[in-house]
Structure 1
Amino acid sequence: MDISVSKYLSPGSSRTRANHSIKFLPLSTSTSYYRHSFFPSIIATWNNLPASIAESPDLVSFKRGLATTRF
């Protein structure tokens, strides 16, 4: 079962620092407990990916890009 991206994530604006076109707005959190959990923290990680990885045409090239790139 797929997760509905539009239900949980909002597209990023041009003001975010991501260098690719598939970016998301960070979630606002009221507690540090939630802020450092997986879901909110992974948005920052995703937005910092290089365009060559984030815009990969398929899962195989996405995984290959992650395995060969240092962050």
Structure 2
Amino acid sequence: MPPYVTPPTRLTRHLHPLSFRQIPTPNNYYKFSFYPATIVLWNSLPANIVQAPTLDQFRLGVTKLDHSF
């Protein structure tokens, strides 16, 4: 992983233990690039899905999520 993808300095009740610190993005062209966009999506996942013990359970949890925004 790139050095700028780091864990948060302080966990809140809205973050799960495997969260990453959001990368500040001054421009939209960078905001929607891979790492900044993926970190936002990863941090929005519920902790029980992120901490799933197997890849199959993770996939099942993600497919059951409501993906409408």
Could you say whether these structures have the same fold, taking a TM-score greater than 0.5 normalized by the shorter chain as the test?
yes
Q: Count residues with an aligned counterpart.
A: 66
Distance apart, 1:63 and its partner CA: 0.6
1:58 corresponds to: 54
Name the TM-score, length of structure 2 as normaliser: 0.76
Residues 1:34 and 2:30 are matched in the alignment: yes
Unaligned runs of 5+ in 1: none
CA distance in 2, matches of 1:29, 1:16: 24
Distance 1:17 1:41, change over 3 A: same
Within the candidate set 41, 63, 67, 1:67 is matched to 63
Distance 1:16 1:6, change over 3 A: farther
Residues 1:7 and 2:7 are matched in the alignment: no
Alpha-carbon RMSD across the aligned residues, in angstroms, is: 2.0
Contact 2:4 2:23 in 1 (8 A): no
Distance 1:37 1:6, change over 3 A: closer
Percentage of pairs with the same residue: 32
Name the TM-score, length of structure 1 as normaliser: 0.75
Q: Which has the higher contact order (CA 8 A, sep 6+)?
A: 1
Unaligned runs of 5+ in 2: none
